[in-house]
Structure 1
Amino acid sequence: MNSQLENQARDDAFARRIRPHMAMMRRQCVRLAGNAWDGEDLFQRAMLKCFKAWQKRVTRTFTKAYLYRIISNTWIDEHRKVRVTEHAQESFDEIAACSEGKKTSEQFISAMKIVLERLNAKQRLVYLMQAGWGLTAPEIAKRLGETEGNVRVIYHRAKRRVASDQPGADTLPDERRLARYINAFQSGDPDRLLALYREEAHRHHVRESGFGDSGFICRMAA
C-alpha cells in the first residue's frame, strides 16, 4: 500500500512538472514526424525519456530547449535504429502463395517469430491478416468488431514495430505457440487466427493495478 502511495505521489509530481509543456511537445513531435500517427508515437517515446530522466533527478527543470533536445534525439535515434525487415513481408507473400505440400521455410519461421515477439495480440492479428493475406481494413474491421479507422491505426503501428529494433511486446515464443500461429496462418482461415487472438487477449487481460512507467505515460498522454 505504501509503495502504491509513493508511486502515485511520484507520478503526480512528474505530471505537475511536465503538463504545462505537453501541448508544445505534441506540436513539435507532429511537425518532426510529418503526420499525427507518427507524431503520437514520437510523443509517447519522448515522454517516457523525460519521465526516466526526471526519476534520476527530480529537481530537473524542463526548459523548452531541453525538451526540444529530447524530442530531436528520440527522433534521430528512431531513424538510426530502424532496419526494415523486408524478408518478413516477402516470407508472408511466399507462404500465402505456397501449395499445401511445400515445406515451411526458415525465413518464414524467422518472420513469424518477429511478429510474435514484437506485436501484441491485436496488432498481430491485424498484421497477419493484412500484410500476410492481403485482407482490406474494412474486411478485418468486420471480423474483429473494430472500426475501419482503428484497424488502420493498429496496422500502421504494427508495421512500425515489425520494422524496428524496439524490444518486443512479448517473450520469445515457445515452439508449440509458434507452430500454432504458423499452422493457423498457412490454413488461410481467418477464424483460426481469430481464435488464437481471443485466447491470447484473454490470457493477457489488463493486469495493471498501479500506474507503472508505461501505464502512467499513456494516462498522461490521454
Structure 2
Amino acid sequence: MADDAFTEHRPLLFTIAYELLGSAADAEDVLQESYLRWAAVDPATVEHPRAYLVRIVTRQSLNHLRAVKARREEYVGTWLPEPIRTAPEVSEDAILAESVSMAMMLVLETLNPTERAVLVLHDVFGYTHGEIAASIGRTEVSVRQIAHRARQHVHARRRRFEPDSDATRGIVRRFLLAASTGEVQALMDLLAPDVVQISDGGGKVVAARRPIIGRDEVARFVLGVIRTSAATTRVEPATYNGMPAARFLTGGELDWLVAFEIHDGRITGLYGMRNPDKLHRADTVRALDRGGPTHGNHDR
C-alpha cells in the first residue's frame, strides 16, 4: 500500500524536490529519505496521501537545501543547476517549462530556502497558503508575506523565454551550423544584443569561470570553442529543462551539453554544462509532474 502511493506520486515528488534543490542527485536522495519516513507510517491513518507525501518531501528538501547552501557558495566557477533531460510534454506545460528552465532555477537560487519553497509550492504546484503553512511550520499570514516578497524578487529578475518547439529547435540548428562553418554574421544575427553565456565546469574541466555577456563576446567564445573541439565530436539535438539543447559527444561520451534560452527569435542565453559529476546522469529522461488540483483551493 505504501509503495503504491509513493510510486503513484513519485513524478510530482521528484519535481518538487528538484525545483527546490536544483539537483537531480539531491532530489533522489530526498525521495529516498522521504520514502523511509513514509514507510514507517500506517497508511490507514493518512487521509490525503499526496498531501502527506508532499509535506515530507518539502521538509526534507528544506533541510537538504540549508545544508548545501554553504557548499554552493564555495563552488569553483559558476554554479548551474544539474540539467535534466525532459520529455516533450514538459515543454507543452508553460508553467512547468518556465519553472524548471535554467534561467528560473538560477533566479530561485537567489531566494532563501523558505522563500523558495513557498514560491514554488504556491505558484508552480498550486498549493494554498494554508497548506504550505502546514508543510513548513509557519503561520498562513507569514506564508502570504513570504510569497509576496519572493514573487516580487523573482519578477524583477525573470527572463522571458520560449520552451522547446519546432521553431526554437530550428533556431538552434541554424546557430550550430553557423558556428561549425564559421559564418560570423549568421551567428551574430541569431544572438540577442544582451545574450549571456554561462558555463559550469565545477573546477574539474576547462570552462569559462564567469558569465560572458554581449553578442560580440559570446560569438567570439562560441567560435573559439568550436575551433578547439575534437574532430570526432558529434552533436545531437535534445531537450533539457524544457529548453532546446545540444549534446556534444566526443568518442561516444557526453562531453558537454548546452541548453538554449530563446525569446522573439533570438538566443538570449546559453547554459553550458561540462561538470562531469552533473553530466553522468544527463541521459536519463525524467518524468516531471505538477499534479492535479489539491484538495484545497488555489489562493493568491
Structure showing the higher strand proportion among its residues: 2
Structure showing the higher helix proportion among its residues: 1
In the superposition, the TM-score normalised over structure 2's length comes to: 0.27
In the superposition, the TM-score normalised over structure 1's length comes to: 0.34
